[in-house]
């Protein structure tokens, strides 16, 4: 697909409004507009959270959503931590399935998929509520057919290790919320310009955390190392999926603190690999770490075989080519 990821939308979306007491009946409406009061809470105080998940077309024509429950659980948590109205997860799940089913015919075959973007925003027109929650909100489900993220060639990424700045405020880390991405933009743009980095790996006080929109995994032989869950970073569904698959493959999974010093030491070893995990990019190899003006290749600096194997293992399940042992897929059509 020649267009940039996430820029083509299906013409309708499912939507519901919370009036302070009830959710309105779900409607399918045109997806190219949304009427909000300019004083809406979200536009001033960033009461917003979203999710990103995918539906896949299988050879039998079925369309299947991957790990929707896990994404919805996270969205409920994001809403709660932002003091947005409580989501009705049954309604939200129905809206996601309904929207994916509606556009089932337009879900691209693998390696393409339908990217699903549920969004929850505070709508109360109340600019005086800088320190109070929005009583009302809107939840909608946008969908976008996407192609192969790797169509441009699978290149190992360059990451700048950032020990001084942070991606977002530490208590906001596990919330998939708009403000966090705005907060990370300046350091990312600077890293792109100054050292031609693809992404910034945030390592506050030397603790290896994550990048602007993906989790970080280090693979050293049979061991896969990644930061243990805490509230400072986003608990990726792909991270959880890859760790589960790694265990299935007999790998040792270490969820623990990883310091920049240990990372640089281990990365230098031949055969070491690193990757970023996320719904959009699945598992993307990392080839180079940049730290204090020096460049450190990870292993041989190219694409590691374990990263490729784990990505293929995950894709095979998503694409219906391997058994879905963990019950991660849900058919919608």
Q: Which of 37, 182, 176 is nearest to 118 (CA)?
A: 176
Decide if residue 123 touches ligand PLP (CB under 6 A): no
Q: What Å distances lie between residue 296 and 215, 225, 258, 287, CA to CA?
A: 19, 18, 17, 9
Distance CA 137, CA 16 (A): 9
Q: With contact defined as beta carbons under 8 Å apart, do 274 and 298 qualify?
A: yes
Q: Which is nearer to ligand PLP, 126 or 173 (CB)?
A: 173
CB of 183 to ligand PLP, least distance (A): 11
C-alpha span between 53 and 108 (Å, rounded): 15
CB of 270 to ligand PLP, least distance (A): 29
With CB under 6 A as the contact rule, the residue among 113, 209, 277, 288 that binds ligand PLP is: 277
How many Cβ atoms are within 10 Å of 12's Cβ, its own excluded?
Answer: 18
Q: How crowded is residue 297: how many other Cβ atoms within 10 Å of its Cβ?
A: 14
Among the candidate windows 106-114, 201-209, 249-257, 277-285, which touches ligand PLP by CB under 6 A? Answer: 277-285
Binding flag, residue 210, ligand PLP (CB under 6 A):
yes
Judged by CB under 6 A, does residue 227 bind ligand PLP? no
In sequence order, what are the residues at sequence separation of 6 or more whose Cβ sits closer than 8 angstroms to the Cβ of residue 43? 36
Least distance from ligand PLP to the Cβ atom of residue 292, Å: 24
Does 234 engage in binding with ligand PLP (CB under 6 A)?
A: yes
Query: Does the footprint of ligand PLP cover residue 278 (CB under 6 A)?
Result: yes
User: Does 236 engage in binding with ligand PLP (CB under 6 A)?
Assistant: yes
The least CB distance from residue 73 to ligand PLP, in Å, is: 11
As measured in angstroms, the least distance from the Cβ of 91 to ligand PLP is 21
Tell me how far apart the alpha carbons of residues 126 and 131 are, in angstroms, rounded to a whole number.
11
DSSP reduced 3-state for 54: strand
Closer to ligand PLP by Cβ: residue 217 or 332? 217
Please, which residues bridge with residue 278 across strands? 282
Please identify, among the stretches 34-42, 99-107, 206-214, 287-295, the one whose residues bind ligand PLP according to the rule CB under 6 A: 206-214
**Interface with ligand PLP includes 237 (CB under 6 A)?**
yes
Residues 6+ apart with CB under 8 A from 263: 161, 208, 218, 289
Pick from 31, 215, 232, 288: which binds ligand PLP (CB under 6 A)?
A: 215
CB nearer to ligand PLP: pick between 85 and 278: 278
For residue 176, state whether it binds ligand PLP (rule: CB under 6 A): yes
Nearer to ligand PLP by Cβ, of 239 and 311: the residue is: 239
The torsion of the CA quartet 233, 237, 239, 244, rounded to 10 degrees, works out to 140
User: Least CB distance from residue 21 to ligand PLP, whole Å?
Assistant: 31
Q: Is 48 exposed, middle or buried (0-12, 13-18, 19+ CB in 10 A)?
A: buried
Across the chain, the runs of DSSP E, i.e. the strands, are 12-18, 27-30, 48-50, 53-57, 63-66, 113-122, 137-146, 157-162, 199-202, 215-220, 223-226, 252-255, 272-278, 282-291, 294-297, 329-331
Judged by beta carbon, residue 71 or residue 136, the one nearer ligand PLP is 71
Stretch that binds ligand PLP, among 13-21, 31-39, 232-240, 288-296 (CB under 6 A): 232-240
> Judged by CB under 6 A, which of 72, 214, 225, 260 binds ligand PLP?
214
Neighbours of 88 (CB within 10 A): 16
In this complex, which beta carbon is closest to ligand PLP, that of residue 119 or of residue 215?
215
Report the interface residues with ligand PLP, using CB under 6 A.
52, 176, 210, 213-215, 234, 236-239, 277-279
């Amino acid at each position: 697909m020649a267009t940039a990821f996430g820029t083509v939308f299906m013409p309708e979306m499912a939507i519901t409004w919370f009036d302070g007491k009830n959710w309105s009946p779900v409607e399918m409406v045109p997806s190219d507009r949304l009427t909000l009061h300019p004083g809406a809470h979200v536009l001033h105080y960033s009461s917003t959270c979203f999710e990103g998940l995918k539906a896949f077309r299988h050879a039998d024509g079925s369309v299947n959503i991957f790990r929707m429950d896990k994404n919805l659980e996270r969205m409920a948590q994001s809403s709660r931590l932002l003091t947005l109205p409580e989501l009705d997860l049954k309604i939200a799940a129905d809206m996601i399935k309904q929207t994916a089913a509606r556009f089932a015919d337009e879900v691209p075959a693998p390696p393409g998929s339908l990217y699903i973007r549920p969004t929850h925003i505070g709508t109360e027109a109340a600019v005086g509520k800088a320190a109070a929650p929005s009583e009302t909100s809107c939840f909608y489900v946008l969908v976008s057919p996407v192609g192969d993220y790797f169509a441009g060639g699978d290149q190992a990424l360059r990451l700048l290790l950032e020990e001084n700045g942070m991606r977002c405020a530490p208590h906001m880390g596990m919330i998939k919320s708009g403000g966090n991405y705005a907060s990370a933009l300046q350091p990312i743009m600077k890293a792109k310009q100054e050292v031609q980095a693809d992404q910034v790996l945030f390592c506050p006080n030397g603790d290896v955390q994550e990048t602007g929109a993906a989790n970080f995994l280090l693979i050293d032989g049979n061991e896969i190392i990644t930061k243990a869950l805490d509230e400072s970073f986003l608990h990726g569904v792909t991270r959880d999926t890859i760790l589960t698959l790694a265990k299935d493959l007999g790998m040792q999974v270490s969820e623990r603190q990883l310091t920049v010093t240990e990372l640089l030491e281990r990365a230098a070893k031949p055969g070491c690999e690193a990757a970023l995990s996320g719904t959009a990019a699945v598992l993307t190899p990392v080839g180079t770490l940049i730290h204090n003006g020096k460049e450190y290749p990870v292993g041989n600096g190219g694409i590691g075989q374990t990263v490729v194997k784990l990505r293929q293992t995950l894709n095979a399940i998503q694409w219906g080519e391997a058994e879905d042992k963990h019950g991660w897929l849900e058919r919608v059509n």
